[in-house]
Amino acid sequence: MTEQNREKKNSQPEMFFDKEDPSLLMRPELRQGSRPGDMRVRIVLPHQHAFRRLHYGVLEATEETEEPHSAWGWLKRIFIGPPLPTARAATERLTKVKALAVLSSDAISSVAYATEAMLASLIAAGSGHLWVMLPISCIIVGLLCVVALSYRQTIPAYPSGGGSYIVARENLGTVPGLVAAASLMIDYVLTVAVSVSAGVLSLATLFPILSSAFDIVSIDVTLIILITIINLRGIRQSGSIFAAPTYLFIGSALLMIVVGVVKSFVIEQRPLIGPFPYVAAVEPLSLFLILKSFSAGCSAMTGVEAISNGIPAFKKPETRNASITLTWMAIILGGLFLGITALTMAYRIEVSPTGNPTVIGQIAQRVFNGPLFFFYPIFQIATLLILALAANTSYSDFPRLASLLARDLFLPHQFAFRGDRLAFSTGIVFLATVASLLLMVFEGDTTSLINLYAVGVFISFTLSQSGMVRHWWVRRHSDRHWLHHMLMNGLGASVTLLVALVISVTKFLAGAWIVVVCIPLFVWLFLSIRQHYLRVQRERTTEIPLRPKTLSHRFIVPVMALDAISQYCVSYARSITPQVTAVHVAFDRKRAAALSECWNTWQSSLSEDERVPLSLVEPACHSFSRCLLAYLEQLQAQYPNDTLTVVLHESDALSFRERLHHHLDILAVKGALYSSPDIVVTDIMPPQQCEPVRPEQFSHRFIVPVTGLDRSTLQCLAYARSICSPVTAVHVGVEEQDIEEIRDSWLQLQRYLSQEEETRLVVIESPYRSLVHPLLAYVDTLRELYPTDTFTVILPKFVVEHWWEYPLHNQTAFRIKKALQTRPGIVVTTIPRFVPRD
């Protein structure tokens, strides 16, 4: 082969392999041909096809990146199902039939306990005044009509979701919007607790053996766990599962009302208002008692706003389908509530002091007898199911509301992320946890929980309708029917405000004070979280990148014994900078002397440039972490301009006791350094067969995950570039808009960088919304292509002043670090970024 052909042959890889493109996941190898001077190119590809290359610098994560690799992952896959791509979001919407089951189960199910709540309040005036229950029920149904008509006007005005938070915030201001949000969130938690506890009491009515508080609370929590798992599977699947119990209850309740009305008023000809079994009065029939009974009966209206909140969950046309579903919900709710109240009066049903049997259970027992006896257990089971599954309304709306608050920085960012099945998983799990704790505290007592109920929902009703009044007033010049709309919403705001005041006053001492106090506390919490996030954003914002040349490294390697892992860590640090010091806290003088002797022997076998001094620290206390921190503080004072990095590793001690002791010491050091704003921590996961290596044998590859080009990210990039070049930055994008923003910002950043500060960016589009799995798959792919290189992943860490601020940060970085710790041979470096107070 001629020299020209050889040059052409050797240059061929450059035609299809671009070393500058980090998205080109292949490695060329030049190999000797069959004849002297002849060379051939072998392309090494990864075994797993975790990515599809879209174009230069852009990859798309495939379904392989979401494959479970642990027992927890497989368990999650079994119970929740495989992840759904974001493109499937449109197919996960609800029809009107399913939406009525998912979004109206809370309101419809409340008829199972609303009449009983009224009866329990009125009985204090004696059995002679129980007839007042009927006009109160008619007033509540009239109020339901007003609220439903008001929300029918909210739906077309806010087609993206006319929840009380959105309407109040846009029209009345931030604080009223947060008051509405806090009220709704409290009401959603109470909805889960009340619905599940009332459902279990229906089961106890059917099976009296389940009457102990322990049994009831155990069943309550078990049902919440079951409902949580179903909702984590996605809104469409939960709608399919919950539709049958909802319609079974509606059908059986309508049958009970029809049969009961015929038997009572046609066959037996009972009077609607007649004498109840005698009960002595303990207080006179006063306006306060009537209002108290009215406020108890208003629990039947909880959940009415759910449909206007969940408009995006409907199939197209969303607003029309939502309006029709809201109308049907109001008709069904009003009819069932009046029918059950009428049968309560016709059969003269008494309230059991223990709540078992329930009022609706007693009605069913009176109606379904004789030839229809088999309908009684069916109805009780249907009541249990609808009450237990009524919590699904909260599971649908609470996570959505929490995601809106997180988007506006009033809650931690995790609440805004969709899970594997396109549901807001964090909100679902949080709701289940709080509701379970509430049931444990109140021992599953529905009566006690109802006293907290309905306060928040009517406050949110009032703010939402008041916001709509201002909405129509602002649009009075562009909408011909603005006055009609404004009057209707004004009537709704006035009526619901009156009801909110009545409920707050009449139930204040019975437990409503808890809600009244919690609402301003929640608003303060929301505002504090947003203030913190805004402060962090101000600290992170920058346009000038940090220069790698300004960084001067100094590495500290704590050693317990001179084993292969310690030698590996020292060589790793020495391959980066000559400023390396090994540190040993001399608790045992004989052991320290032996270590010093072994250390000198090892160092004498190395060249002058490779040697690392060993510093023996005299312990000032019995804590390894405190002694090490004191030594680090001295170094910081001695070298204020150096970037101090502490290298930590797992122990290779022979005995289990020594390994455990070392592990606890390292955990203590990590905990102490977690809040340090100036010290970088490097965790080395030693290779499975760790052997001592020379510093020059390390071939470094640095990977820096980036979410945006803020100060913390630029600090990580500068740290990596100060050690080796080039550095690969990886951005995992979920939203197309975020991907475009990071690419534009990256192009602007390159203008500031010199050639030696070269940094390459690869964007990984994540169709399954996962941030961690695609990054891990990318690291694993590069390790497979370059098995002899040492990979270091650099993560930012925010250091804040208060403990309660830590849950707002570092969650994704912690998950990445935890996952990388299971991969031997990976180095994880954490760069702190201190967030001071204003």
pLDDT higher at 479 or 556: 556
Secondary structure (3-state) at 316: coil
Confidence band for 497, pLDDT divided at 50, 70 and 90: confident
Tell me the DSSP string of 670-715.
Answer: HHHHHT-SSEEEEEE---TT-----GGG--EEEEEE-SSSSHHHHH
**Interval 218-244 mean pLDDT:** 80
Q: Tell me, what's the pLDDT at 580?
A: 92
**Residue 88 has what pLDDT?**
72
pLDDT at 388 over 60: yes
Q: What is the mean pLDDT of residues 196-211?
A: 74
CATH number of 549-690: 3.40.50.620
User: Tokens standing for 135?
Assistant: 């006009």
Q: What is the pLDDT of residues 279-326, one digit of tens each?
A: 777 778 888 888 878 877 777 777 777 788 778 778 888 888 888 988
Residue 1 has pLDDT above 50, yes or no: no
What average pLDDT score do residues 628-632 get? 89
AA letter at 696:
E
Q: Of 105-109, 278-282, 567-571, 648-652, which gets the smallest average pLDDT?
A: 648-652
* Contact by Cβ (8 Å): 252, 378: yes
Q: Please, what is the Cα angle at 52 between 50 and 56, to 5 degrees?
A: 130
Among candidates 248, 268, 211, 261, which has minimal Cα distance to 375? 248
Confidence of residue 210 (pLDDT cuts 50, 70, 90): low
Confirm if 831 and 797 have CB atoms less than 8 A apart.
Answer: yes
For 318-341, what is the mean pLDDT? 89
Per-residue model confidence (pLDDT) at position 306: 78
Most confident of 30-44, 229-243, 805-819: 805-819
More confident residue, 653 or 239: 239
Query: Which of these, 134, 114, 146, 438, lies nearest to 302 by C-alpha position?
Result: 114
Residue 654, pLDDT above cutoff 60: no
Instruction: Label residues 388-403 b or e (16+ Cβ within 10 Å = b).
Output: bbbbbbbbbbbbbbbb
Give CA–CA dist 10/26, Å, rounded: 17
Q: What confidence tier does 201 reach under pLDDT thresholds 50, 70, 90?
A: confident
pLDDT for 358 beyond 60: yes
**Position 31 confidence tier, pLDDT thresholds 50, 70, 90:** confident
Pairing of strands 643-649, 679-684: parallel
Over residues 775-792, mean pLDDT:
90
Record the tokens describing residue 203, joined without a space: 């089961």
Task: Find the mean pLDDT for residues 357-384.
Answer: 83
372 or 255, greater pLDDT: 255
pLDDT average, residue stretch 719-742: 85
Query: Is 704 a residue whose pLDDT tops 70?
Result: yes
DSSP β-bridge partners for residue 107: none
CATH architecture of 93-533: Up-down Bundle (1.20)
Mean pLDDT of the chain: 81
Q: Give residue 778's pLDDT.
A: 92
Encode pLDDT of 428-470 as tens digits.
Answer: 999 999 999 988 888 777 767 777 766 777 888 889 889 888 9
Residues in a beta bridge with 615: 583
Query: In the chain, what percentage of residues exceed pLDDT 90?
Result: 11
* Phi/psi at 836 (5° precision): -75, 165
Q: Which of the two residues, 709 and 262, has the higher pLDDT score? A: 262
Q: What is the pLDDT of residue 12?
A: 39
pLDDT > 70? residue 813: yes
SS3 content of the chain, % helix, strand, coil (to 5): 60, 10, 25
Task: For residues 160-182, give the mean pLDDT.
Answer: 86
User: What does the pLDDT look like over 84-123, one tens digit per residue?
Assistant: 787 776 666 778 888 888 777 778 888 887 888 888 888 8
Q: How far apart are CA 731 and CA 733, in angstroms?
A: 6
Mean pLDDT of 706-712: 83
Helix boundaries (H) for 317-413:
318-346, 359-367, 375-389, 391-407
| Domain range summary for the chain, segments of one domain joined by + | 1-45, 93-533, 549-690
Cα separations in angstroms, 270 against 127, 275, 342, 345 = 17, 11, 11, 10
pLDDT of residue 14: 41
Residue 472 has pLDDT above 60, yes or no: yes
Q: Is the pLDDT of residue 80 over 50?
A: yes
Pairwise pLDDT comparison (688 vs 678), residue with the higher score: 678
For range 523-544, the mean pLDDT: 79
Evaluate whether 134 touches 341 at the Cβ level (below 8 Å): yes
pLDDT higher than threshold 60 for residue 3: no
The DSSP secondary structure of 498-554, one letter per residue, reads HHHHHHHHHTIIIIIHHHHHHHHHHHHHHHHHHHHHHHHHHHH--SSPPPGGG--EE
